[in-house]
Structure 1
Amino acid sequence: MAVSAMILTLPHFLSQPYDYDSVFHNRHDICNLHENRSSTESCDKTKQLEDTNNLWVLMASAQLLFGVGSVPIQPFGISYIDDFAGPSNSPLYIAILFAVSVIGPSIGYLLGSVMLRIYVDVDRNGLGAEQELQHGDPRWVGAWWMGLLIATGCLVLTSIPYFFFPRQMHSEITESETDSTDDFKKPEVCLLDLLKMFPRMFIQLLLNTRFLLLILAQCCFSSVVAGLATFLNKFLERQYGASVAYSSLLVGAVNLPAVAVGMLIGGIIMKRMGLSLKTIPRFCVVMLTVSTLLCIPLFFMGCPTQSVSEVNHPVGLHQPLSKCYLNCSCPAGAFNPVCGSDGVEYVSPCHAGCTNFTKDPNNTHRVQLYTNCRCLSDGQNHAHPSPCVNSCPHFLLPVILVLSLASLIACLTHNPLYMMVLRSVPFEEKSFAIGIQFLLMRVLAWLPAPALFGMAIDTSCIWWKHVCGKKFSCGYYNNNLFRSRYLGLQVGYKILGILLLMILVRKERKTKEYDLEKRPEGSL
């Protein structure tokens, strides 16, 4: 895992310094009335795009190594704890494992919020160097790689105790339970025999209706988590004007701790109340229904997209386009949003028709104001070098609190569902079942869900940035569509998971009551 984190930092050191549109880099950022630029001008970012396309191999290799390294913790760590803890204590211990595993990403988000306030090329420019860009600028890129370097050191240190773990830990299982489990333990088999048995064991697991329904339901809820983990920051930034650093701070300080608390409370509920296999699905249906209902107000907590010239607002209300910026020789791929004195946002100073600018007296590397902007309609004809202020910042904290509360309630079901999986398969197949569970969750949830959420978000894009004539990334979204599709997909996944659990509830009515603290000797 430490090696994978180190590999993830390599793209920063192997790629060229970060480049962005700026009047200090070239005069194309503002309106140049007397310059004629050829339409066949060569693209100077072609090499940068080629380097970016080649670096994905490093990223994929790092993710593969990380997946291999995490196996001793999850899923085998769950089976390890359940084997050597008493049946009444294992739910709490496993809940602690999951809660602590969430605290890690929480610390990561908090660390990221600090690192993202530092400019990405700090190793090349120096820590105290004056920067033209500010944190809220959409062109700003923070030092994302510094957090990974710190994580590498932490992973190396935390891996040391694993070398001192005994081959077999002292078990809390009572003597009678040990005798009963010894009766059905299978002799150790070699790797070749295990590979031969794999298809049969895999099919048997899939034919276990309880196991299959549980895994499919967990895949639905994992898809929600994947969507939140991948795009929650982007959602907060686009909908409520939060900076990248501040949105990371909110996720790490509010949302993820709520998730950890929910998992821990779920483990305590399992230990104190001793939920049976019949009770767990009912408990989960109730909790997840409440969590889903809490998400409904979020659909109405937002604002439409700000007025952007030529995107959702006509350009030059009082003068035609030919007299506005047509002769400014604006680059097709320019993206340096400015807020005009008329309250309209423009893609760049050039697209606002600005022919001049003034420098910030406190930082000569920063623009204070763009002037002589011919496309503005209010007569003041100046623009500020930043996007217009978002009209919905007052929704930011209520939204993150509602999301966190919904996450806390949903995570009350996390531990009960895992314990039900452990008790739904024969004791000797438990590790295999957990491995298959994690495999199916990766294949059915963590792989397709981020892509599906990304597609839903992309369909709400109303203006794309282009680099070298190719579609690169979205500059502006229809905020109402973004919000409804992003949240709607989450709610849809939750409803599907609840329906699967309701089918399981109906199935469990026909089976005898089963104490969760007993270890099964065969499929139930």
Structure 2
Amino acid sequence: MASEEIETSKFLKDREAGINESEKREDPISSDTLCGFSIFKGPALQRFATAHMFVIMYGIASCFLAMAFTYFTGTISQMEKRFNIPSKISGLITVGNDISTVFSSAFLSYYASRGHRPRWVALGLLIIALFCLLMLTPHFFYGPGEEALRLTEEYEIEESFANFSVNSTEKNDSLCHKKDSNCVKDAGDYTPIVLFFIAQFIGGIGCSLFYAPGLSYMDDNSASSKTPAMLSWSTFLRMLGPAMGFSMVSLCLRLYIDPFKTPLITPNDPRWLGAWWLGWFLLTFILIISAFFVALFPKELPRAKARRLKAVGEEDTPLAERSFQDMLDSLKRLAVNKVYIYNMLASILYFFGYMPYWIFTPKYIEIQYRQSASTANMATGTWALGFSAAGVLISGYVISKYKPSARAMAAWNFVVDYLTVAGILCYILVGCDESDRANSMSIVPTGDSCSASCDCEYVYLAPVCSPENMTFISACHAGCTEKGLDELGRIIYTGCRCMGNSLNLTSFSNVTSLASQSQIALDGVCPVDCNKQFFIFLAVMCFLKFVGATGRSSNLLLALRCVPSKDKTFSLGFGSMVYSVLTFIPSPIVFGWMLDSYCLVWGKTCTSKGNCWIYDTKSLRYTMNLVSASLIFLGSFWNIGVWYHAKDMKVFDEEETAPQNNPIEAIELKEKPKEIVTDKK
């Protein structure tokens, strides 16, 4: 009996020692769960090693990343003017990040998932900072440009020193080039284009490193019951990015490209070049700071490690089963999944048709409604995104409360498509007749007898306004021979042989002789009032943003529930690759080419056409909107197929057991698998 007690006592001691040893081994505070690196670590940081803190930091970093790519979108028109880039080339630059994403996303995501994921995310942020720095370098290599400097008071002063008399014959001859004169030798250098493309390409690699490791880390280190709340916070913070990006663009473009010089024109002048480069300074700095704070998080959060150890390694099983054959089997299952295939086809057509409104909306507003670049970006980044956020929140609440069936959500996606088509068709009707008429009258044939003595083909864009409220490309095109000042100190051109006879004397009342008014022109574009049409356009755009955003949650749930749990991650990754190849890469190039095809006035140089200054706004408005509406309309028929085959699909039964990282990934996909911007619907 005594021996049994001794053995029992020994057993209990050994068991207690074993438990203590096991607890010591499973102690979550280990090297993998310690915050910080190098000299930046210690107990003071450890209290921040929580899933909530990571969600906040990751959401803020996502906001800054979206802000960077939105800033690029908002400054496209300014870069085109500064470096004489056609829209089809700027579209090609835009898809640089999609090209790198296609080739790097799968490999980098797989490799980074097995390492210190917060530091991979931080590396992605540093690469995005490098993208911002590369976007900045062309300005330091090339400066503001002679065309921009010519429109400053300082340049006029320098010219006055070079020319002793403003009214000298040589000065007047500058109104037009004599035949056989030298052309404009200010462009033809493709270095800025190459730098911009490389920057975008590098940015895509940074996004691949940022999203996949960050999202999987968030999921693996969060309790499933808390994931919805964390997802909401992350989405909210991320949605601030485009709004902040467009707001920064608006503020920067209010400044002249050289802020230390005094411009002679206003931001409403088509020749205005804003300080597009200024925001890249701040973006580079805040992304580096964000990378530092994200890198402080441990390889695994303490609470998450404790949960994983209790799960007896069940998290490691799926990784062991991964193989190339398993990927092929998943691909075969997706190929016969009609809901998945139909939803993908509908999304491809929708994304392709809506792409120009994500990339070229500020430019569209500038050329259609004669608004400044600053106003166009502010409208795009504040009101529109506010309505989009409201649509997401309201639809999420409705779905959570009423839990509609899969068919009901598929039907709503179909309705959203048709409302989107209706709104885009309204864009056609919301045109500015004054702007259309002014643009159509701006073109004077180069062989016209009134300006035949001059070679106007390579003259800088320097618009002048005739008494008929008709804008000419330059005083040369108007056939003017003299330059001077009127009684109000305004620059006027006289001897303009290309002017008509009908007079609109509102702006010319201070010219002394009516006989001479038919031969004069005022410096600058003629006033055009498109404010009413602009506000109507904004109202329609906000409606489309709201309606489209209400379809996000339903489309998200359909995409998640139409495939087996084991195929969800692969299905989202495969879909992202397909969308990039078939939509995000070709669509900007196609619509950029479309914009160029309706150009009326090119900034011609000795070696190339350069950028477009004046568009056929009416024809462009009809063509672009009809093509976009047609593509979305065709995509809606595939949504009918989704509705038909989703009749037996369950949406909410698997809500607790479904992997929680997929909803986050799907939201990234639906908002813009690229980085940024803006929203898909």
* Residues in 1 aligned to 2:387 and 2:575: alpha-carbon distance in whole angstroms: 25
* Residues in 2 aligned to 1:288 and 1:220: alpha-carbon distance in whole angstroms: 11
Q: CA 1:510/1:13 → structure 2, altered by over 3 Å: closer, same or farther?
A: same
Alignment partner, residue 123 of structure 2? none
Question: Which structure 2 residues correspond to residues 200-219 of structure 1 after superposition, within 5 A?
Answer: 200-219=329-348
Q: Contact conserved, 2:417 with 2:632, CA < 8 A, in 1?
A: yes
* Residues in 1 aligned to 2:323 and 2:379: alpha-carbon distance in whole angstroms: 46
Q: Contact conserved, 1:325 with 1:350, CA < 8 A, in 2?
A: yes
Alignment partner, residue 188 of structure 2? 49
Q: Contact conserved, 2:176 with 2:456, CA < 8 A, in 1?
A: no
Task: Check if 1:292 corresponds to 2:421.
Answer: yes
Structure 1 window deviating more from structure 2 (329-338 vs 8-17): it is 329-338
Alignment partner, residue 138 of structure 2? 11
Q: Contact conserved, 2:346 with 2:635, CA < 8 A, in 1?
A: yes
Identity %: 23
Once the 2 structures are TM-superposed, how far is the Cα of residue 79 of structure 1 from its aligned partner? 5.5
Question: Which structure 2 residues correspond to residues 128-147 of structure 1 after superposition, within 5 A?
Answer: 129-147=261-279
Q: CA 1:40/1:337 → structure 2, altered by over 3 Å: closer, same or farther?
A: closer
Given candidates 239, 247, 254, the residue that maps to 1:117 is 254
Alignment partner, residue 412 of structure 1? 550
Q: Which TM-score applies when normalising by structure 1?
A: 0.82
Q: What residue identity is the alignment partner of 1:341?
A: P
Structure 1 window deviating more from structure 2 (379-388 vs 181-190): it is 181-190
Question: Which structure 2 residues correspond to residues 392-431 of structure 1 after superposition, within 5 A?
Answer: 392-431=530-569
Task: Check if 1:248 corresponds to 2:248.
Answer: no
Task: Check if 1:101 corresponds to 2:241.
Answer: no
Question: Which structure 2 residues correspond to residues 106-505 of structure 1 after superposition, within 5 A?
Answer: 106-122=243-259, 126=260, 129-168=261-300, 186-189=317-320, 194=323, 197-304=326-433, 305-307=436-438, 321-322=448-449, 324-358=450-484, 368-377=491-500, 378=503, 379=515, 380=517, 381-468=519-606, 470-505=608-643
Q: Contact conserved, 2:431 with 2:618, CA < 8 A, in 1?
A: yes
* Residues in 2 aligned to 1:28 and 1:468: alpha-carbon distance in whole angstroms: 26
Q: CA 1:150/1:29 → structure 2, altered by over 3 Å: closer, same or farther?
A: farther
Q: CA 1:288/1:321 → structure 2, altered by over 3 Å: closer, same or farther?
A: closer
Q: Secondary structure at the match of 1:467?
A: coil
Q: Contact conserved, 2:183 with 2:605, CA < 8 A, in 1?
A: no
Q: Secondary structure at the match of 2:277?
A: helix
Structure 1 window deviating more from structure 2 (195-204 vs 27-36): it is 27-36
* Runs of 5+ unmatched residues, structure 1: none
Once the 2 structures are TM-superposed, how far is the Cα of residue 144 of structure 1 from its aligned partner? 0.9
Structure 1 window deviating more from structure 2 (425-434 vs 438-447): it is 425-434
Once the 2 structures are TM-superposed, how far is the Cα of residue 479 of structure 1 from its aligned partner? 1.9
* Runs of 5+ unmatched residues, structure 2: 1-127, 504-514, 660-681
* Residues in 2 aligned to 1:287 and 1:412: alpha-carbon distance in whole angstroms: 8
Structure 1 window deviating more from structure 2 (339-348 vs 80-89): it is 80-89
Q: What residue identity is the alignment partner of 2:372?
A: S
Question: Which structure 2 residues correspond to residues 52-67 of structure 1 after superposition, within 5 A?
Answer: 53-67=190-204
Once the 2 structures are TM-superposed, how far is the Cα of residue 459 of structure 1 from its aligned partner? 2.9
Larger radius of gyration, structure 1 or 2? 2
Q: Secondary structure at the match of 2:546?
A: helix
Q: Which TM-score applies when normalising by structure 2?
A: 0.65
Once the 2 structures are TM-superposed, how far is the Cα of residue 444 of structure 1 from its aligned partner? 2.0
Once the 2 structures are TM-superposed, how far is the Cα of residue 494 of structure 1 from its aligned partner? 2.3
Alignment partner, residue 178 of structure 2? 37
Once the 2 structures are TM-superposed, how far is the Cα of residue 16 of structure 1 from its aligned partner? 4.6
Q: Contact conserved, 1:33 with 1:328, CA < 8 A, in 2?
A: no
Aligned residues: 497
Q: CA 1:417/1:308 → structure 2, altered by over 3 Å: closer, same or farther?
A: closer
* Residues in 2 aligned to 1:35 and 1:491: alpha-carbon distance in whole angstroms: 44
* Residues in 2 aligned to 1:14 and 1:502: alpha-carbon distance in whole angstroms: 53
Q: Secondary structure at the match of 1:138?
A: coil
Alignment partner, residue 205 of structure 2? 68
Q: Secondary structure at the match of 1:269?
A: helix
Q: Contact conserved, 1:33 with 1:327, CA < 8 A, in 2?
A: no
Higher helix share: 2
Structure 1 window deviating more from structure 2 (328-337 vs 254-263): it is 328-337
